[in-house]
Homo-oligomer: A and B are copies of this chain.
Amino acid sequence: MKLIAMTPEPPYYAVIFTSYRTSGENGYSEIAAKMVGLASKQPGFLGIESAREDIGITVSYWTDLEAIRLWKKNFEHQEAQKAGRKNWYSSFKVRISKVERDYGM
């Protein structure tokens, strides 16, 4: 999924997830990949972009706030969120934003 997301014309929503990992794998990679697969099957999913150096940034794109709310409440995602708080992230920030304009090359 290491591609620039092919999003439609704005408006749409972006969830910006910035995080620091704890040391150690603790099952992270497998679940992270599984969550990308699950998210991409959710209604309203538009795409995802992800990179990690010192911090990790994952931006997922959605049609609307209801789609974001439903993904947050997905059972397997909720389990992953708990594991994230407990095992994988020393700190994180989630920002829910409405994309008003975009352009590119």
Contact = CB atoms under 8 A, between A and B. Distances in A.
Among A10, A13, A93, the most chain B Cβ lie within 10 Å of the Cβ of: A93
A95 B18 contact: no
Nearest to A104: B93
Contact of A97 (B56, B93, B100): B100
Number of copies: 2
Given A5-B18, A97-B97, 5 more contacts: A18-B49, A50-B53, A53-B53, A89-B105, A95-B102
Interface in A42-68: 49-57, 59
Contacts of A3: 55
Contacts of A91: 4, 104-105
Contacts of A4: 18-20, 55, 91-93
